[in-house]
Amino acid sequence: MNLTHLDEKDKPKMVDVSDKDETTRIATASGIIEVTNEVFEAVINSRTKKGPVLQTAVIAAIQGAKETSRLIPMCHPLLLSSIKTDIEELPELPGFKLTVTVKLKGRTGVEMEALTGVSVGLLTIYDMLKAIDKGMIIKNIQLENKSGGKSGDFRR
């Protein structure tokens, strides 16, 4: 099996995408942060010391998606055309589910951007609430679906 990020001498390389077709590519990822009831109530009732937690997480998720190529060594810098976020309250857990959808017209996919957006958004929630509870659990970060490109569509 040939690995795409290694050259013929097994040195790391960034994949050359210049000959790939430009297509519309969309990827959606999600993840969950599990919190205590105390933390959940503090967030939904806006009683946290560091400000609006969920709004800040949305901004962080967008920033994380935009900065992916600076964080993941072999990712291409991309001109993203759209980043959409959604945070769902999960009172039964308790916790929050963050979903990020990234879109562009280009030669490489945006799965890593969606996954990085989710990761950074959830880490931001953790950072803003760790003074209340350091036992929060970030889990189930996963690609939900992707479309476009040679490898075709994927749906979890």
Q: Which residues carry out catalysis? A: 127
Beta carbons within 8 Å of 127's beta carbon, 6+ residues apart: none
